[in-house]
Amino acid sequence: ATKQNPKVVKRLGQGKGRARTDSKIESVLGVNIDKAKIRILSPVVVGRKGEYYQMLYDMLGKGYEKAVIDGKEVSLRERIELVKHRKHDIDIVIDEIFLSEFKDDKKGTLERLAEAVEKALDESDGLVKIISPSTELGTETTRVVSAKFMCAYDGFSFPEVEPRLFSFNSPFGACEECKGLGTQHFFGNEPCPVCNGARLRPEALSVFLGGDGGRRVSKGQPTSKKADQSASSKGVNIVDLVSMSIDDAIDFFLELTLSKKEQEISNVVLKEITSRLEFMQNVGIGYLTLDRRANTLSGGEAQRIRLASQLGSGLVGALYVLDEPTIGLHQRDNDRLVKTLTKLRDLGNTIIVVEHDEDTIFAADYIVDIGPGAGVHGGEIVVADYLDKLLKMKTNPSGSETLAYLRGDKRIEIPGKRRTSDKGKLKIRGGKKFNIKNMSVDIPL
């Protein structure tokens, strides 16, 4: 795109994108020359052969009076003859606005400017040429802006930016070499030499969030998960982002610095992202990375992820049944999980939890103890009532062992001396998997 015109990138600003009407208006304001004017043109023909007699006649019928043809301004009321076999550039003059009009009626003039830009876009199918005075007296600045995802100077274009462009499950986003697998072979672990296991096209890996956007990825040299993730200068791409833990991702989005315009565009999206991340953090899985495979999660982790998604859905009047959601959860995170369950209940839902954890049982409104023993010795409802009522009773007429421990009638004494084992130990050195980093531990057998 830049071989024919080295100034294309500089003129367009940062990258290619679809310009909004208000941003195009802002780009032509702020000049300080009195009695100068802004001209809005519509490039209806760009480098195409033809006579265009009928088109020019139609433009006159629409109320336009002037055009710039091959760099020369002409009146549409005159007879215009063009050489059929030559390439021509035709710009229709949509409007001319003197800068002094902004002083007299800024609001009205802005509306007129916006209307002219929209007309230019309609006539040229997405292009507008804006000629405005520059900071140097007697000179003009010409800007060509596209309302589509294309370069206004050489016509290079790409499709609408959609989630599928950043998904390895879609042929639009998947690496062409490995088809989104990330490995050289279907039954193998050797990383793909093109995407280095990232599973995405180089184009998707070269889009960065945060930082100054200065880092670029060329084909065959994508960013790996172990690469430097310094958002202050380089930013992160989608692979860097999903390799973060939920806790780190929350910090990243909360500390993300955006311009005023970027904030307006992304405000709703960022709010939804952070709220969903916080839901997962609140159920005690903030240590999980966003790219963690579902088949590697424990039963408790999988349940808590589903629980977080239900919180985000905002459903009411639903019945949730959870089977020991505290499995694999550190004791310090139990309180977070209980608060999440309470919040789900307060939304107007019913929560049934099969649980042996003391903190979770104490947080319940109503308990049902099934026993009296385990397995074939159970199957009967020993006691069922509101927990507060059962705890305040003077006696335990049901004979429930669980209730006896909850009431403090019975307790498990901590032995003063632990038994020893002579069966050796299971030694793990430098254990490293998922969120476990270089752990060494001895487990008595």
Q: Where are the alpha helices (DSSP H) in 89-138?
A: 100-104, 106-124
User: Fold for domain 294-407?
Assistant: Rossmann fold (3.40.50)
Q: What is the pLDDT of residues 312-343, one digit of tens each?
A: 787 899 999 999 888 877 777 788 889 889 98
Average pLDDT value for the chain: 82
Q: 380-418, pLDDT tens digit by residue?
A: 999 999 999 999 999 999 999 999 999 999 998 888 888
Which H or E run includes 324? none
pLDDT tens-digit readout, 225-272: 443 444 445 689 999 999 999 999 999 999 998 889 889 989 999 999
156-161-167 Cα angle (round to 5): 120
CATH code for residues 8-146: 3.30.190.20
Q: Under a CB-based contact definition with an 8 Å cutoff, are residues 175 and 198 in contact? A: yes
Residue given tokens 């009626």 in the structure block = 105
CA dihedral 337, 338, 344, 347 (to 10 degrees): -140
Q: What is the pLDDT of residues 27-44, one digit of tens each?
A: 444 444 455 788 999 999
pLDDT given for residue 269 in this prediction = 92
The mean per-residue pLDDT over the stretch 289-303 comes to 88
Over residues 76-134, the pLDDT tens digits come to: 999 899 999 999 999 999 999 887 777 778 888 888 989 999 999 999 888 899 888 76
DSSP tag of 20: P
Type of residue numbered 92: I
Q: Which long-range contacts (CB under 8 A, 24 or more apart) does 376-385 make?
A: none
Of the candidates 204, 178, 203, 174, which has an alpha carbon nearest to the alpha carbon of residue 190? 178
Is the pLDDT assigned to residue 13 strictly greater than 70? Answer: no
The conformation of residue 414, written as its DSSP 8-state character, comes to P
Q: What is the largest CA-CA distance in the chain?
A: 109
Range of 228-237, 271-280, 293-302 with top mean pLDDT? 271-280
**Ranges of each domain in the chain:** 8-146, 160-243, 294-407
* Cβ contact 91:43 at 8 Å: yes
Cα dihedral value 279, 281, 285, 288, nearest 10:
110
